[in-house]
């Protein structure tokens, strides 16, 4: 549903408008008037007959027509009654600025539900409650108490914190940043971040979707919708409040490594959302996206009038993994024609401390033509001869002439460069307060371009035996068993094409020796108990047993020692298993995030996984490219490729394992967590072995 | 030697003073006058009789007295002649602002040497050439062309980039930052960063030593001196230009992992130097150190009038490893007495959006008394009721009353908070543009306090056999051999108390089998050639050979295959070696940095070391604490302590190995690089084994 009436209403009623300076009801009304809003404004307040020269109505009904938008600023208690009036009148769009709802506890929560129910029944969309309001500079709408109308621009902003929005507007003004729309979403009783991201995504006036969020209401829809929009325009978000959340007990390695923060990182990576660590970083990125073309590659040329900042830029370019563009001979020749002999004609191009605007202009012009240069970064320090303003003007001139490559400025200083910075900003050239900030922004743009050029996501479906998995899970759930043991986990995995080592559970030392003889030495032995999740922790794993005597000794020792250590564990016997051929040990895992659903994990396997933490996460279902990228995102990947003369292992086979697992957890939402660890993988063409596995299931 | 005459001269001669506006000779003279300098100024220029109302002298000699300080701004060619005049007159302090020396190439380098030689012979100290000059606000000295005299303060600043200093002064003015002294060190022909760090270190007016450096002239002295000064006052440095340097070929793992950047990081860690990534970060840190007491612990309390910024601060506190202070019941009770019911009395304390200055004041006052709180961070967003200025004034009042704990402000916004920020700055309370910046600064202070409280460095000396090492190294150098092979490396190591596995080099398959029989199976075999450094890369290592047949097969295969792969390698045979008992593999190494000398390395061993890069570096000689800290700084440390039921290994034994190695490379500067890899380490009380080792030596 369109939110147009919130952004471009033909008439606005303000219920709770006040004539007392300083009151929110006064601020909102006067902000609307001061913004130059051209539609009709109807103040509603039964205590006044007119406010600020406008006729005041005792009730909504008394207006005698249905306003496009109603803003409510009355005490919380009467908001449901006002909403009822709105319903009666056929109002479709309401902003509830009033606080005192969900955020104050149970009583407020009830009130919020009551209000929401009335709205839903009447088909009314609601922004708020407990919000700052809505601002649309282009339509001179300032339905907020956030202060003066900001500059018009192409950034759409949504904020879950009203106070932050107020600070942000103040900062935006100082930085000359303009907005298409600003919305404070408050308690997001009805309209939430997703509605607004969609609205901004479809809004032709919005080039960049920006926002501050503390949580995400519907993780799956967010993932899907954000991904679609990111293909059209960048989404730059601050997401706070994730770090302390992930302290949940988990029975799997994957679960214990996957915090809330990991889920957000993985979901943002998949959906192309650009994460910002601060308002400053967000402004830096948003301004670049709003004003500059996307870079066609990662080659950066730096033009400077001082060595120091040039080196700082070079450091940052290297650190961020961008390329310090190698200029062509032709470029260097051309630069030599007008730059003085002492100037550095190679990147970073040093036009020297006494450079006027002209050499800057010529250098930028020449460098923009170089095919190895995809972005130009212009640094300037205010020295005795420096013509900062003229240099800014020259940049503007060239940017207008050659508009296919992004141009960034980092003029260093304060008062000495302010007039020049104003010229840059007024003409849509982004200015950064340090070379590092500019370089980080360039890197962000390059990454976004790379994200957009990914091939289309196609999730492969493997032929599997779903019925077998259903049966095993059903049996567990019927018996109230949530932890699926090794054998049953492997049964499930085998239905999805995984291979496990052969073996049997035995209950005497002699049986153990017999089974081992049949399997062939060496063998592995593992304690068998539904109560022991990490077998090696209690001495419940022995590997490389080479004869019957060793097997019998191991059996007896486990049976003697483990019940002493874990008197409450129900021990069913010992698993005797063939020992796998040598190979690399990796871990494949899944953790079901409460907001975003199944998150796949890949990493170095074995007992070190939680120590080295060399793992990567990505939301399921995985495509082949994504599965491979998960491998590449770890250091383990290099080890898998073969280090120092060693042969590499079958990378494709691991990626296929991840995709099969991704299919399993997508098709069976009952599976909450799982590890295959170790997953032993050999050279190309050999079948990987799921040596150990565990999972937990839940009724859904 | 004291640099007093540079900072507080009684008279100054300006050679090359000019009356042409815009010329450097004019700028320096007028800057001195405008600064209100109270000593005598003697312009020297044979073309003028007076400049700016001051009598002008044709030569230095013509002044008729010896000025304390001479500033030279003449063309480069005549600088040596002027220096000669200075020598004749007995001048002791000269600033050479003139450019056109070392930085322009060979000719300039010669000129610089010529000038320097004259100065040295006459005992003249020189700042520059190619510099911006010297500024000392307290003495009204502005012997520079950097613009107006900055505010007086307690930060001493040295810069290797003049242009950056100009930008920095402009920014400092906008941020209200004051300086004790500023020096542009230019080409640092004589006076370098170390002289100034020492001078600032001893200067009672300087509380914080700050600077921008591109390289360090004398690494060892820097390390020593910086460490001494860091105990008295913090040193905050920007060091640029390191990343691209480390691309040097290296024959050891340690060498290939140790770039120039690593050396700087390790040296800064040892000497307590605080590294800044940008000018902004440097200002953030310097202001805190200049104005606030050091925090007594890592507990932070946050007071805010908005939820969003409070969460952002909490995120940053967790991310940076600080503690979100748990308030005592008493504190919470007291807060409850004056804060409204809806306010959050727990950290972060939310005084609510409509809070006036008073609740802020009371809350700060109460929280400062809480023993769990070591630092208070006050956040403010400009909302409708917010009294920003009054809140700032309240903070100032309390900070004066309770001055033992640091107080930080992060008022968010721009114009709306500017007057409040001015109040904070004028009264020495640091203001940060985001909660993240404030938290990062608090973390930096906490780390500095921790560094200062380290126990005194005592380097243990082990009894060793130096003569044996001397003999081996001597023999290699005499024969022009720089790479020391495995056997000789182990001989050297054994003289310093390291144990290696037994074994012999053999040249036939039968000999190999015989040696293996004597050692006992299993054995390890390694190709033996001075030309093969990474033996496993070419199939030159076989482990776990369990009988004579396997040993003979391995011998013949190596002898057949390796000469084919490496036809130029001189193969001397095959080493047959006892197989070590099981243990963890670590690497101990050393790389001799060209600037800072021996850098020790510790990390996970084996062939993965360059892939996982889980290593730590520290300058030799190591104390016991430092050796242990090197272990703790890696993830490998957790593995060594024992993961999931495994027993840990002998941590002290590894630390001792590092100290012994540190002693070896300190006593033998001929050793350029070395690895012991793997160094196999077992449970406590067992002797670690240096399984493989290599080193390279050079005449010194």
- In this prediction, what percent of chain A has a pLDDT beyond 90? 74
Task: Give the C-alpha distances (Å, rounded to integers) separating A99 from A102, A105, A145.
Answer: 9, 12, 13
Nearest to A434 among B278, B381, B433 (CB): B278
Touching check for B160 and chain A: CB below 8 Å? Answer: yes
Taking the C-alpha atoms of residue B568 and residue B665, their distance in angstroms, rounded to an integer, is: 32
Name the residue among B169, B171, B190 with its Cα closest to residue B181. B169
3-state SS assignment for residue A528: strand
Measure CB to CB from residue A382 to each of B166, B238, B280 and give the nearest one.
Answer: B166
Cα dihedral B448, B453, B457, B462 sign: negative
Which pLDDT score, from 0 to 100, does residue A251 have? 59
* Tens of pLDDT, residues B477-492: 999 999 998 889 999 9
Is the CA virtual torsion B289, B294, B297, B301 positive or negative? Answer: negative
CB A205 within 8 A of CB A141: no
* A279 touches B at CB < 8 Å: yes
Task: Report yes or no: A299 and A375 within 8 Å, Cβ to Cβ.
Answer: yes
- Smallest CA-to-CA distance from A60 within A80, A36, A88, A33 is with A88
Residues of chain B positioned with their CB less than 8 A from the CB of A381:
163-164, 166-167
Rounded Cα distance, B177 and A534, in Å: 57
Q: How many residues does chain A have?
A: 700
Taking an 8 Å cut-off on Cβ atoms, the answer to whether A417 and B170 are in contact is yes
**In what helix (H) or strand (E) does residue B232 lie, and over which residues does it extend?**
helix B219-232
Nearest to B319 among A24, A243, A536 (CB): A243
Q: What is the pLDDT of residues B150-175, one digit of tens each?
A: 999 999 999 999 889 989 999 999 99
The pLDDT of residue A390 is above 90 = yes
* Chain A contacts in chain B segment 43-102 (CB below 8 A): none
User: For residue A319, which residues of chain B lie inside 8 Å, CB to CB?
Assistant: 243
Q: What is the pLDDT of residue B590?
A: 96
Distance CA(B512)–CA(B574), nearest Å, equals 8
Residues of A in contact with B167 (CB under 8 A): 306, 309, 381-382, 412-413, 416
CA dihedral B496, B500, B502, B503 (to 10 degrees): -100
Question: What letter would DSSP give residue A138?
Answer: G
**Residues written for chain B:** 700
Domains, chain B, ordered by start? 4-214 (3.40.50.720), 293-452 (3.40.50.261), 466-578 (3.30.1490.20), 584-697 (3.30.470.20)
What the block records as the tokens of B535 is 């033996």
Q: With b meaning 16 or more CB within 10 Å and e meaning fewer, what string describes B80-99?
A: bebbbbbbebebbbbbbbbb
Q: How many CB atoms lie within 10 A of CB B318?
A: 16
- Segment B389-414, tens digit of pLDDT: 999 999 999 999 998 999 999 999 99
CA distance A649 to A638: 10
- Pairwise CB contact (< 8 Å): A415 & B305: no
For B315, the closest of A147, A163, A240 (CB atoms) is: A240
Question: Inter-chain contact B536–A644, Cβ cutoff 8 Å?
Answer: yes
Q: Could you give the CA distance from residue B304 to residue B322 in angstroms, rounded to a whole number?
A: 18
C-alpha to C-alpha distances, A121 to A77, A84, A116, A117, nearest whole angstrom: 20, 10, 9, 6
SS3 content of chain B, % helix, strand, coil (to 5): 40, 20, 35
Contacts of B482 (CB under 8 A, 6+ apart): B476, B672, B696, B697, B698
**Rounded distance between C-alpha atoms, residue B398 and residue B362, angstroms:** 9
3-state secondary structure B458-515: CCCCCCCCHHHHHHHHHHHHHCCCCEECHHHHHHHHHHCCCECCCEEEECCHHHHHHH
Alpha-helical (H) ranges within B376-465 are: 388-401, 418-426, 435-452
Residues 6+ apart with CB under 8 A from A511: none
Structural contact between residues B15 and B78, judged by C-beta atoms closer than 8 angstroms: no
Residue B116 CA to residue B102 CA, distance in Å, equals 12
* pLDDT tens digit sequence for A600-613: 999 988 777 777 78
- Whether B249 shows a pLDDT value over 60: the answer reads no
Chain B residue with minimal CA distance to A160?
Answer: B308
Work out the average pLDDT over A474-488. 92
* Torsion angle, alpha carbons of A95, A96, A97, A98, to 10: 170
CB A640 within 8 A of CB B611: no
A691, A555, A670, A668: which is closest to A621 by C-alpha? A668
What ipTM describes this predicted complex? 0.86
Which of A214, A433, A608 lies at the smallest CB-CB distance from B643? A608
Token pair 């998949």 is found at A270
Residues of A in contact with B170 (CB under 8 A): 382, 412-417
pTM greater than the 0.95 cutoff: no
- Tokens matching residue A76: 């919380």
Q: Determine the average pLDDT of the residues in A6-32.
A: 94
H-type helices in A481-586, by residue range? 486-495, 509-519, 548-565
Given a contact cutoff of 8 angstroms between Cβ atoms, the answer to whether B399 and B407 are in contact is yes
Q: Which of A241-245, A366-370, B286-290, B428-432 has the lowest mean pLDDT?
A: A241-245
Least confident of A7-11, A375-379, B278-282: B278-282
DSSP-derived secondary structure letter, B8 = S
* Mean pLDDT, residues B657-661 taken together: 97
Instruction: Give the model's pLDDT for residue B245.
Output: 36
Encode pLDDT of A125-173 as tens digits. Answer: 999 999 999 999 999 999 999 888 999 999 999 999 988 998 999 999 9
pLDDT at A240: 87
């Amino acid at each position: 549903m369109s939110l147009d009436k919130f952004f471009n209403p033909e008439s606005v009623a303000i219920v709770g408008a006040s004539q007392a300076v300083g009151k929110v009801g006064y601020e909102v009304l006067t902000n609307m008037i001061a913004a130059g809003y051209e539609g009709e404004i109807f103040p509603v307040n039964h205590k006044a007959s007119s406010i600020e020269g406008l006729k005041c109505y005792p009730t909504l009904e008394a207006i005698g027509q249905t306003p496009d938008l109603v803003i409510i600023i009355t005490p919380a208690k009467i908001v449901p009654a006002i909403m009822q009036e709105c319903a009666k009148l056929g109002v479709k769009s309401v902003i509830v600025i009033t606080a005192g709802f969900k955020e104050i506890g149970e009583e407020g929560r009830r009130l919020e539900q009551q209000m929401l129910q009335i709205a839903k029944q009447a088909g009314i969309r609601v922004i708020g409650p407990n919000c700052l309001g809505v601002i649309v500079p282009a339509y001179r709408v300032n339905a907020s108490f956030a202060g003066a109308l900001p500059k018009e621009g192409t950034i759409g902003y949504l904020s879950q914190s009203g106070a932050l929005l107020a600070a942000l507007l103040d900062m935006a003004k100082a930085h000359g940043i303009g907005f298409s729309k600003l919305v404070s979403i408050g308690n997001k009783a009805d309209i939430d971040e997703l509605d607004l991201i969609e609205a901004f995504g479809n809004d032709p006036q919005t080039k960049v979707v920006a926002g501050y969020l503390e949580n995400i209401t519907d993780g799956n829809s967010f993932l899907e919708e954000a991904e679609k929009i990111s293909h059209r325009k960048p989404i730059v978000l601050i997401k706070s409040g994730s770090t302390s959340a992930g302290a949940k007990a988990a029975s799997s390695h994957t679960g214990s490594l996957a915090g809330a923060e990991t889920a957000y990182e993985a979901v943002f990576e998949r959906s192309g959302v650009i994460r910002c660590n601060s308002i400053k970083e967000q402004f830096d990125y948003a301004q670049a996206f709003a004003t500059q073309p996307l870079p066609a590659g990662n080659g950066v040329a730096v033009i400077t009038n001082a060595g120091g900042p040039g080196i700082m830029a070079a450091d940052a370019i290297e650190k961020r993994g961008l390329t310090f563009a190698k200029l062509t001979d032709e470029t260097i020749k051309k630069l030599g024609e007008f730059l003085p002999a002492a100037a550095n004609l190679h990147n970073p191009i040093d036009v020297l401390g006494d450079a006027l605007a002209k050499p800057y202009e010529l250098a930028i012009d020449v460098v923009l033509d170089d095919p190895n240069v995809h972005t130009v970064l212009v640094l300037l320090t205010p020295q005795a001869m420096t013509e900062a303003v003229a240099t800014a003007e020259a940049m503007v001139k060239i940017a207008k002439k050659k508009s296919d490559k992004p141009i960034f400025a980092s003029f260093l200083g304060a008062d000495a460069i302010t007039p020049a910075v104003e010229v840059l900003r007024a003409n849509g050239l982004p200015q950064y307060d340090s070379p590092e900030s500019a370089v980080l922004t360039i890197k962000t743009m390059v990454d976004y371009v790379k994200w957009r050029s990914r091939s289309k996501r196609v999730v492969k479906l493997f032929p599997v035996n779903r019925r077998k998995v259903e049966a095993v899970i059903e049996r567990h759930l019927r018996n109230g068993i949530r932890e699926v043991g090794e054998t049953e986990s492997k049964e499930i995995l085998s239905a999805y094409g995984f291979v496990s080592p052969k073996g049997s559970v035995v209950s005497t030392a002699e049986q153990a020796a017999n089974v081992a003889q049949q399997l062939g030495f060496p063998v592995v032995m593992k304690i068998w108990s539904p109560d022991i999740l990490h077998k090696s922790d209690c001495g419940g794993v022995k590997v490389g047993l080479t004869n019957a005597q060793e097997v019998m000794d191991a059996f007896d020792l486990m049976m003697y020692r483990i019940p002493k250590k874990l008197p409450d564990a129900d021990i069913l016997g010992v698993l005797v298993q063939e020992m796998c051929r040598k190979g690399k040990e990796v871990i494949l895992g899944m953790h079901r995030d409460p907001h975003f659903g199944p998150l796949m994990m890949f990493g170095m396997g074995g007992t070190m996984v939680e120590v080295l933490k060399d793992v990567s996460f990505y939301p399921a279902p995985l495509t082949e490219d994504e599965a491979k990228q998960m491998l590449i995102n770890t250091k383990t990947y290099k080890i898998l490729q073969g280090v120092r003369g060693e042969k590499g292992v079958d990378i494709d086979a691991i990626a296929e394992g991840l995709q099969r697992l991704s299919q399993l957890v997508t098709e069976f939402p009952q599976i909450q967590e799982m590890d295959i660890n170790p997953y032993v993988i050999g050279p190309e063409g050999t079948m990987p072995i799921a040596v150990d596995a565990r999972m937990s299931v839940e009724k859904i």
